Chains A and B, each alone.
Chain A
Amino acid sequence: MREGEIARLGGALAVDILIAEDEPSILESLDFILRRAGWSIESVTDGEAVLERVRRELPRILVLDVMLPKRSGFDVLKQLRADAPTRHLPVLILTAKGQQQDRRIAEELGADGFVTKPYSNAEVVGAVRQLLGEDDRSS
């Protein structure tokens, strides 16, 4: 039994992964593959909701799309890094534009990992696992 589940069983609300993604089909498949890999998942679909949710219940990791409505992923990331409680929250960025510039900006803002769309499901699972420090665990 993993940490997240223990925490939940213990009554705490900590969730493993918060996904911020506004494309319904992508969100649906992400939710499925990450859940299937054994983690607990919650999701939001716009930039403002990310900040609100993260502040309420700190997830173990945030999977953050760059192109979000209301507040961009960059904006969210910058805000998270400015607030003490979320300064060290591991953030995995999904870049869609496939552009080096996006990646550079996210790096400067303190992103921890990147997955570029279109990705394979295994890439996402691998990247999340690495950020959660569960590298050596076989699924």
Chain B
Amino acid sequence: MRAPIGFRISNRRKSLKISQAALARLVGISPSYLNLIENNKRDVGGALLQRVALHLNIDIDDLTGQAEQKLLQDLEEAYADPMIESLPFQPDERRQMVAQYPASALAITRLHRAYTDAVASADAFADRLRSDPLLSQLLHQVLSGVTAVRSSAEILEDVPDLEDGERQRFLAAIGRETRNLGAVARNLIGHFENASASRRSVSAAREIDDLLIERTNYFPSLEAAGEALRMDVEKYGRFGLQGLTEALERQFNVTVTIGGPPPAGPPDFPGQYRYFPELGTMWLQGATTLATRQFQLARLYGELAAGATIEAELDEAALASPAALRLAQRALGSYLAGAMIFPYSPFLEQAEAGAYDIDQLRQTYYASYEQVAHRLVSLRRPGEEGVPFGFLRSDPAGRLTKHFPLPGLLLPYSGHACPLWVIYGAFRTPDMPVRQVVRFSDGSRYLFVARTVQRRAAAFHEPPVMASVMLACNVLHADKTVYAQGLDLADNEADVEVGPTCRLCTRTNCASRQEEPMAPAPGGENLRATLVGDGFALGADG
């Protein structure tokens, strides 16, 4: 579905009371050509669109409708909530709402987001109460203390012939236990205070999402810094493990240690790397891959050398919570490392030449599959764009743990995606890239490519940490990638018919459906119905 970009240009121009001829002159085209654009009879993009946006003093995303599209997607998600999904909405209500009352639509999506965050933190608290080892230990102490006090008090009350020594013993026990109970109570209170301080992480992740979406995951200042830093490192030798180690040592007095236990802190530290600023040491676990070492050293070097650049980006982002700030800091540090390891233009050039073959790119840059996939998503430099990709990562439980959006493709924020997506299928064939052409119910088609990635285990007892990463790309661009080779992209007979998640999907006849859709088709509410008679629908209002 093409966004009616011409109408938006026309509306905006009229509201600014600029004539068609005047705008045409300003942007350097003929009035008749502008007329064609405004009537949606000619495409507009690239530098011309930028000039139009500039002279109409409007954000390019507002003109292209991307902002609106995003709002519509968010609104769809809000309306799919089981709380309200069975209300009798008009079929086109959400679209109209976005078109006519964008602020109200935004208000609903914000409230829905705040609500889901609140629900998530309530769930987190319930889980905490059920399974928190510290809490159950404290409760055990309370019950033991109360038992001892009660039992001793009963003895003092009920036994008339207690000897003095015995009386003293039980009085002392009561005193001791009540003092203990006081300490336990204080501990409990402190526990809940800590718990409430750490519960913000749910919405922090979303704040980061918003930041990345707003910037289309491309940060010019970090790209520039990355390029400059790479040249700095190259003064100490070829860019890579050796150059980075040397640069860290000479410029920042940081020693890199690989293997053995970490130089401080618990010896069974679960992470693969750690920086000890007070010791001037960067420690990497012996089991880390070359790619991980290079990446983490680049990240450290970037954070030390270009901390101010990262800070400036963070200031601009104006994130609300400290947790979001920390996550953003980390994300931007990783971005900078990516920009250093994969310099934009040469990387793009090679990616294009090699048809975006991730495994081929890995060899040139000594990088991991995930690092390369991640970098491909950021090839959004205006005027020098690569194929637009979306990115998703899932853990083996199906939970989405990282995502970078692709305009037009509805990737769920969190939770689960559609079970048919190859991001899950990839777990069945570890280390092997798998692909699929999918079709959503609105007819849009994408090429999905997924592969599992795994952290190298450091010991027999260490459970392997596996994840699946997936790149998504519009079928229209897919022919530029190696992953479409041998596929007849024009033939949609073999498309896998998917949705975003069950709730947001309208395919009522899908065998993989686990939840009712938000707008069930008439007669379609037969999921888990009884065999005979009228069943009840999951999530339907009782």
Contact = CB atoms under 8 A, between A and B. Distances in A.
B143 A119 contact: no
A-B pairs, top 5 by smallest CB distance, nearest first, are: A25-B148, A29-B151, A118-B147, A117-B147, A25-B173
Contact of B144 (A33, A36, A117): A117
Interface in B124-152: 136, 139-140, 143-144, 146-152
Contacts of A23: 144, 147-148
Q: Is the interface of B mostly helix, strand, loop or mixed?
A: helix
Contact of B147 (A26, A32, A33, A36): A26
B176 interface: yes
Interface stretch (B84-92, B153-161, B504-512): B153-161
B155 A26 contact: no
Given A29-B151, A32-B155, A120-B154, A96 B166 contact: no
Given A28-B170, A120-B151, 15 more contacts: A23-B144, A25-B152, A25-B173, A26-B151, A28-B173, A29-B151, A30-B151, A36-B159, A96-B143, A117-B146, A118-B143, A118-B146, A118-B147, A120-B154, A121-B155
B359 to A, nearest CB: 49
B223 interface: no
A98 interface: yes
Contacts of B170: 28-29, 32
Interface in B255-269: none
Contact of B151 (A97, A98, A119): A119
B152 A29 contact: yes
A62 interface: no
Interface of A: 23, 25-26, 28-30, 32-33, 36, 67, 96-98, 117-121
Given A36-B159, A97-B136, A97-B140, A119 B147 contact: yes
B177 interface: yes
B173 A33 contact: no
Contact of B177 (A25, A97, A117, A119): A25
Given A25-B177, A29-B170, A32-B166, A96 B155 contact: no
Contact of B140 (A29, A32, A33, A67): A67
B144 A29 contact: no
Given A25-B177, A28-B173, A98-B143, A33 B148 contact: no
A21 to B, nearest CB: 9
A30 B144 CA distance: 13
